[in-house]
C-alpha cells in the first residue's frame, strides 16, 4: 500500500530528500485514492507545510513535537508498556515478526518506531496491513488528539491511519492515555517530570497467555497491554 508508505515517510525526520519527494508522495496518494477528501486535504496541508517552510524550521518543529515531548513519542510501546519489563519482550517479538517476514529493519530506530512499523505494514497484503494498524488504534487516536490540541498539521497523518483502518479504539485504553500528562515542549519542568517518572509496570506477568513471543504474542500485547484506567482507587498521578 503506497498510502501507508507515504504516511510512514511523513512521520520521519524532515530532510531535503523528503521535501524533494513531496510531489511524488502527493501523486501516490491520489493514485491509490484510499482516503476520503477530508483526510486527503489534511495530508495536503502537511505536504504544503513541509514544502513551503524552511527545512531547519521543519526539523526543529519535528524534534520539539516527537523527540522532546514524551506524550507524542512515535515509539508505540512507550504508550503501551511504559518503562515496564514487558516493553523489552515486545520489542523482541516485533523484531522477530519483521525478520520472519523478510523485512530488513536496518535502522538505528527501535522496532516499535511508528514510521518503521508503517513501512512494514505497507509491504503486507492490504487487509493484513490494515489489521496491523488497527491494533494500536488507541495510541494513534490519542496522538491525533494531542496534535489537534496543538493545531499541528501532523494530526492529518494519524487521522488518515484511523480512517484507513476503520478502527474503533478501545474506549478505556484511550481514556487512560488521554488522562496522562501532556506538557507543552516549552514547559521544561513538566517535561522533565514526565521523562523521569517512576518505572511503571503494566500488563500481565511472565506466566500470562500473552507472555510468549512471535506474531500472536505481539498482537496480544498491542491489543491487551493497556495502562491502568484511572479511578478513585487507582490514580495515575
Contacts of 219 (CB under 8 A, 6+ apart): 135
Local confidence band at 19 (pLDDT 50, 70, 90 cut-offs) = very high
C-alpha cell belonging to residue 229:
484506567
pLDDT higher than threshold 90 for residue 39: yes
Go through 2-14 and write b for each residue having 16 or more CB atoms within 10 A of its CB, e for each that does not: ebbbbbbbbbbeb
pLDDT higher than threshold 70 for residue 147: yes
Q: Which of 18, 26, 24 is nearest to 44 (CA)?
A: 26
For the chain, report the end-to-end CA distance as a whole number of angstroms: 41
Give CA–CA dist 26/35, Å, rounded: 12
Give CA–CA dist 130/134, Å, rounded: 6
Lowest-confidence range among 49-58, 109-118, 187-196? 187-196
Contacts of 71 (CB under 8 A, 6+ apart): 146, 180, 181, 182, 183, 194
C-alpha cell belonging to residue 130:
490494515
Give CA–CA dist 184/68, Å, rounded: 9
Give CA–CA dist 114/155, Å, rounded: 14
Average pLDDT, the chain: 78
pTM for the complete prediction?
0.75
Q: pLDDT per residue over 96-115, tens digit each?
A: 888 888 888 766 788 889 99
**Neighbour tally for 233: CB within 10 Å:** 5
Write the DSSP assignment of 128-185 as a string of letters: HHHHHHHTTHHHHHHHHHHHHHTT-TTHHHHHHHHHHHT----HHHHHHHHTS----T
Q: Which of 41, 6, 4, 38 is nearest to 22 (CA)?
A: 6
Q: pLDDT per residue over 207-222, tens digit each?
A: 333 334 444 445 444 5
- Unique residue bearing C-alpha cell 498510502: 3
Amino acid at each position: 500500500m503506497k498510502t501507508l508508505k507515504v504516511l510512514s515517510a511523513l512521520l520521519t525526520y524532515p530532510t531535503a530528500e523528503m521535501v524533494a519527494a513531496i510531489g511524488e508522495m502527493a501523486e501516490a496518494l491520489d493514485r491509490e485514492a484510499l482516503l476520503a477528501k477530508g483526510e486527503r486535504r489534511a495530508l495536503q496541508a502537511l505536504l504544503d507545510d513541509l514544502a513551503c517552510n524552511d527545512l531547519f524550521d521543519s526539523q526543529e518543529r519535528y524534534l520539539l513535537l516527537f523527540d522532546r515531548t514524551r506524550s507524542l513519542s512515535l515509539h508505540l510501546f512507550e504508550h503501551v508498556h511504559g518503562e515496564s519489563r514487558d516493553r523489552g519482550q515486545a520489542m523482541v517479538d516485533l523484531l522477530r515478526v519483521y525478520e520472519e517476514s523478510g523485512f530488513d529493519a536496518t535502522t538505528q530506530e527501535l522496532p516499535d518506531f511508528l514510521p518503521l512499523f508503517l513501512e512494514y505494514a505497507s509491504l503486507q497484503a492490504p487487509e493484513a496491513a490494515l489489521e496491523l494498524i488497527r491494533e494500536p488504534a488507541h495510541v494513534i487516536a490519542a496522538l491525533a488528539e494531542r496534535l489537534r490540541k496543538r493545531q499541528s498539521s501532523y494530526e492529518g497523518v494519524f487521522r488518515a491511519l484511523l480512517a484507513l483502518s476503520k478502527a474503533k479504539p478501545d474506549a478505556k485504553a484511550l481514556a487512560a492515555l488521554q488522562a496522562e500528562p501532556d506538557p507543552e515542549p516549552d514547559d521544561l519542568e513538566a517535561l522533565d517530570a514526565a521523562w523521569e517518572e517512576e518505572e511503571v509496570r503494566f500488563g500481565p506477568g511472565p506466566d500470562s497467555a500473552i507472555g510468549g513471543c512471535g506474531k500472536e504474542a505481539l498482537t496480544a500485547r498491542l491489543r491487551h497491554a493497556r495502562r491502568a484506567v484511572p479511578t478513585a482507587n487507582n490514580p495515575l498521578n
